[in-house]
Structure 1
């Protein structure tokens, strides 16, 4: 088994160590797993992946799409889902009541 030495910025190492610790390993373990994964990818596939990544970056950088300012929050999106669900339940209840004969309806 071979050993390698890598020089890395202290701040980067701190962040990687925290990331690794949260996953029950060490930075060395992450690096080893990543290198082993890279070694399993055939060169032709790796080249295709690199080209796809390059094209995606190029599209992202040159896209004229402008979505404008973000005016929503994560919380508002969840609130909207809850409001939609409440409206749906109310509509279903109303539909069920409309199907009942008028004598069975309770006021």
Structure 2
């Protein structure tokens, strides 16, 4: 395991201390858990951005985010990302043909 050092604000330190008390855990364990969660969230958001911009496929986004295909599909749906030809797309196309 590697060691990292950083400066944090007094406000952030107080929040960390609150979590330590709540979780009955030492500072290092709390920071590792929070950092792991933050990195995971960042990876998911990055993959969703790439998916939204059409720079990656659903399968590749899932791999990059360390999620299953179905989990990534759910996250994309929650984020309102269109992944293909939807029923609404069909209705729009049919409406254009009728004009």
Q: The TM-score by the shorter chain falls in which range?
A: 0.3 to 0.5
Q: So what's the TM-score if we normalise by structure 1?
A: 0.34
* Bigger-Rg structure (1/2): 1
